[in-house]
């Protein structure tokens, strides 16, 4: 550490006093009492460490990345509580530690103390507010003068002038406070920047701390801040391509959700000060990068709200940093199923879930044979929003990506509710590893769509495979007098050797007074196969009719399974009618199997996880979604 050092026991005592703030009552405004000499010592020792380390830090995952703090000391402690206090986790902060907030001194002192104690695990970059001409105006100077004196502020300035300005993680993620520069062509230019130095009014150093991405521009543009530039998505793509990198991670701007993607997810903005200045209703975020470059965003809502997590997988390398692929996703407005457009380098999967106090995170489960992603959506207006959320609040910039193709099969579970409807309920129950066990060549798609404004709802999509095709369709249309029943598509339907056919139909019609189950338009709707089985699932709900009729079935010589669910919202007791299969493995589930049955059994019951056992040529399925959205 050069000629200047601090005794370990003194440093530990400073950290201990700074962390005592955690026991203070929220909003009490308690200040941590440090001696001026102790603070000067922190600045001097940290300054020497900054100068010993390069201007462009070369870091390795795993590491946690935080954006602007701006003197919000209690929120800094929340970040450590969620991410783990050093040295339990490695940290990289992107600058802007002081100004605007009420406790800039506590904030910067704790960060400097951790830097001194763990110099190879804790890293600080320079922000545009770590500059005398800026923090002289926006609060830090006044706080130093009020609590100590102007000399201490000058000591901090000397320390800030030695901070590194950028970092690169595993040669693939470039981090800085502001953004790119028209003067930046290679990373050696950052390494060659001299220190100590003030921030100039223009040039590379200025841009690294001040520039911003601009969605509506191409190339370089004027910055509304009056300093530096804005840059378009094309500049990000070009820079990453030329330098063989994959992501730019920066801070510098308040973003509503604490993080925000730009340029087809090639750049991410992280802002870690929730409820910024007490005037914004923004969340804060912290991004964790593990050894495989899987990035998870922990979202910090303002103190009176719950935190949640966003999981982002940025991976796809066969060896350490080779063979990357990037996938861009567009979401179909009709059925919410993503279209996959191949691009270079990174494959990203985003799923969102609320509050990670429970470990049963719903995320991508990978294996050699299949990829399954579970996504549930709850009504954002409901007071009983469930724990698992897929945010649809910003449809134009949806950050939710649903599935990725694997070698054998793909399963997509999509549940969507209309956030404008005050009576839309969250659709089915949560589960940790539910639903479907596939054979090696099956494809299953579950689609559940509720549309309270549109006159037509059509959510159909399937991919045929060699062995079987299964379609689950839930359609609810509160404005249409005739809700269409959506029929199954058959695998190899033109040939008599069809191996397996399954129909799942769910229909709700709140306007019709004469809804009678589901109108099927097949000539032989309950298909008979000579070599396999036929399965029909029918859910009918009629809010106007006092009776709901079920649909009879014809049975073949092989096994036939029928699921019939009838709901009458006008009845004092809503009946669930189920005729299911042979193994009663779940609570309150009653089952019946038919071979040459001539009658339909109607059983008042409810089942949570029906599992169908078919003949040897069919596929076993479990946990068929059984709820119908209430559109009344």
Dump pLDDT digits (tens) for 233-288. Answer: 999 999 999 999 999 999 999 999 999 999 999 999 999 999 999 889 999 999 99
Which tens digit of pLDDT belongs to each residue from 344-397?
222 222 222 222 222 222 233 322 233 333 333 333 322 222 222 233 222 222
Say if CB 307 and CB 300 are below 8 A apart: yes
Q: CATH says 8-308 is which class?
A: alpha beta
Q: Which residue has the tokens 């150093």?
A: 205
Q: How far is CA 219 from CA 6, 239, 397, in A?
A: 48, 11, 21
Provide the 10 A C-beta neighbour count for residue 289: 26
Which tens digit of pLDDT belongs to each residue from 47-104?
999 999 999 999 999 999 999 999 999 999 999 999 999 999 999 999 999 999 999 9
Concatenated DSSP letters of 516-583:
-S-----SSSS---SSSEEEEEEEEEESS-S--PPPP----SS-EEEEEEEE-TTSSS---B----S-
Task: Please say if the pLDDT value at position 127 is more than 80.
Answer: yes
Provide the 10 A C-beta neighbour count for residue 385: 15
**CA 352, CA 375: separation in Å to the nearest integer?**
8
Provide the 10 A C-beta neighbour count for residue 518: 22
**CA 520, CA 375: separation in Å to the nearest integer?**
30
Q: Which of 526, 525, 499 is nearest to 614 (CA)?
A: 499
Q: Which of 50, 47, 36, 16 is nearest to 105 (CA)?
A: 36
Domain boundaries, given as residue ranges, for the chain: 8-308, 435-632
**What is the model's pLDDT at position 187?**
97
Tokens linked to 148: 């100590």
**CA 543, CA 478: separation in Å to the nearest integer?**
11
Which tens digit of pLDDT belongs to each residue from 484-529?
333 333 333 333 323 333 444 444 443 333 333 433 443 333 333 3
Confidence class for position 449, pLDDT limits 50, 70, 90: very low
Provide the 10 A C-beta neighbour count for residue 113: 27
**What is the model's pLDDT at position 164?**
99
**What is the model's pLDDT at position 477?**
42
Average pLDDT of the chain is 64
**What is the model's pLDDT at position 29?**
61
Q: Alpha helices, DSSP H only, in 197-318?
A: 204-210, 233-242
Q: Which residue has the tokens 């054979």?
A: 439
Tokens linked to 211: 């520039």
Say if CB 90 and CB 66 are below 8 A apart: no
**What is the model's pLDDT at position 394?**
26
Confidence class for position 26, pLDDT limits 50, 70, 90: low
**What is the model's pLDDT at position 310?**
53
Say if CB 88 and CB 101 are below 8 A apart: no
Mean per-residue pLDDT, 126-144: 97
Which tens digit of pLDDT belongs to each residue from 578-631?
333 333 333 222 333 333 333 333 434 443 333 333 333 233 333 334 443 333
Q: How far is CA 119 from CA 53, 112, 432, in A?
A: 9, 10, 40
**CA 178, CA 62: separation in Å to the nearest integer?**
23
> Which residues touch 495 (CB under 8 Å, ≥6 apart)?
none
Q: Which backbone phi and psi does 561 adopt, to 5 degrees?
A: -120, 135
Which tens digit of pLDDT belongs to each residue from 411-435?
444 344 333 333 223 333 333 323 3
Q: Please give the residue that has the higher pLDDT: either 33 or 114.
A: 114
Q: Which backbone phi and psi does 338 adopt, to 5 degrees?
A: -75, 145
**CA 289, CA 232: separation in Å to the nearest integer?**
26
DSSP secondary structure code for residue 256 in this structure: T
Task: Please say if the pLDDT value at position 440 is more than 50.
Answer: no
Confidence class for position 186, pLDDT limits 50, 70, 90: very high
Mean per-residue pLDDT, 147-152: 97
**What is the model's pLDDT at position 4?**
76
**CA 286, CA 84: separation in Å to the nearest integer?**
12
Of all residues in the chain, what percent carry a pLDDT higher than 90?
43
Q: How far is CA 10 from CA 3, 30, 39, 304, 575, in A?
A: 17, 22, 11, 35, 71
Supply the residues annotated as catalytic.
129
Which tens digit of pLDDT belongs to each residue from 289-339?
999 898 889 999 876 555 555 555 444 332 222 222 222 333 333 333 333
Q: Which of 214, 262, 251 is nearest to 128 (CA)?
A: 251
Q: Kindly state the helix (H) or strand (E) to which residue 105 belongs, with its residue range.
A: helix 104-117
Half-sphere exposure of 170 (CA within 13 A, CB side): 21
């Amino acid at each position: 550490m050069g000629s200047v050092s601090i005794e370990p026991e003194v440093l530990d005592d400073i950290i201990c006093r700074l962390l005592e703030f955690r026991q203070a009552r929220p909003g009490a405004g308690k200040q941590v009492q440090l001696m001026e000499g102790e603070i000067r010592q922190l600045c001097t020792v940290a300054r020497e460490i900054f100068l010993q380390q390069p201007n462009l830090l070369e870091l390795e995952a795993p590491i946690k990345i935080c954006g602007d703090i701006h003197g919000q000391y209690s929120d800094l402690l929340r970040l450590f509580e969620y991410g783990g206090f050093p040295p339990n986790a490695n940290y990289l902060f992107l600058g802007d530690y002081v100004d605007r907030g009420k406790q800039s001194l506590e904030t910067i002192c704790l960060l400097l103390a951790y830097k001194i104690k763990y110099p190879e695990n804790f890293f600080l970059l320079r922000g545009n507010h770590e500059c005398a001409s800026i923090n002289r105006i926006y609060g830090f100077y006044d706080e130093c003068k009020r609590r100590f004196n102007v000399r201490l502020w000058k000591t901090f300035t000397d320390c800030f002038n030695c901070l590194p300005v950028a970092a690169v993680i595993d040669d693939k993620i470039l981090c800085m406070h502001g953004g790119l520069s028209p003067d930046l062509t290679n990373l050696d230019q950052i390494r060659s920047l001299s220190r100590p130095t003030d921030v100039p009014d223009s040039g590379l150093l200025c841009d690294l701390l001040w520039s911003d991405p601009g969605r509506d521009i191409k190339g370089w543009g004027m910055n509304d801040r009056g300093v530096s530039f804005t840059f378009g998505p094309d500049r990000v793509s070009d820079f990453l391509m030329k330098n063989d990198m994959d992501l730019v991670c920066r801070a510098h701007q308040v973003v509503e959700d604490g993080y925000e993607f730009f340029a087809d997810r090639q750049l991410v903005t992280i802002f870690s000060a929730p409820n910024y200045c007490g005037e914004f209703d923004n969340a804060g975020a912290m991004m964790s990068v593990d050894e495989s470059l899987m990035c998870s965003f922990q979202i910090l809502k303002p103190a009176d709200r719950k935190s949640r997590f966003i999981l982002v997988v940025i991976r796809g390398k066969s060896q350490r940093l080779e063979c990357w692929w990037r996938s861009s996703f567009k979401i179909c407005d009709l059925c919410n199923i993503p279209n996959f457009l191949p691009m270079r380098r990174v494959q990203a999967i985003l799923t969102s879930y609320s509050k990670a106090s429970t470990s049963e995170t719903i995320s991508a489960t990978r294996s050699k044979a299949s990829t399954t992603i579970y996504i549930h959506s709850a009504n954002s207006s409901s007071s009983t929003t469930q724990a698992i959320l897929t945010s649809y609040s910003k449809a134009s910039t949806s950050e939710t990506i649903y599935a990725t193709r694997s070698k054998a099969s793909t399963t997509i579970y999509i549940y969507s509710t209309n956030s404008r409807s005050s009576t839309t309920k969250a659709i089915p129950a949560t589960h940790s590893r539910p639903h479907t066990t596939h054979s090696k060549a099956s494809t299953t798609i579950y689609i559940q769509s509720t549309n309270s404004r549109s006159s037509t709802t059509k959510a159909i999509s399937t991919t045929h495979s060699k062995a079987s095709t299964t379609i689950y369709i839930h359609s609810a249309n509160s404005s249409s007098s005739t809700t269409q029943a959506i029929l199954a598509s058959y695998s190899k339907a033109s040939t008599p050797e069809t191996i397996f056919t399954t129909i799942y139909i769910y229909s709700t019609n709140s306007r019709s007074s004469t809804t009678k189950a589901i109108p099927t338009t097949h000539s032989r709707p309950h298909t008979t196969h000579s070599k396999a089985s036929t399965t029909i699932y029918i859910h009918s709900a009629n809010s106007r009719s006092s009776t709901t009729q079920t649909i009879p079935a014809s049975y073949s010589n092989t096994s036939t399974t029928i699921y019939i669910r009838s709901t009458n919202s006008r009845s004092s007791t809503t009946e669930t009618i189920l005729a299911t299969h042979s193994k009663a493995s779940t609570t309150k589930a009653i089952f019946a199997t038919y071979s040459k049955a001539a009658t339909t059994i109607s059983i008042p019951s409810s089942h949570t996880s029906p599992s169908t056992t078919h003949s040897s040529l069919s596929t076993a399925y479990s946990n068929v979604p059984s709820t119908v959205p209430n559109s009344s």
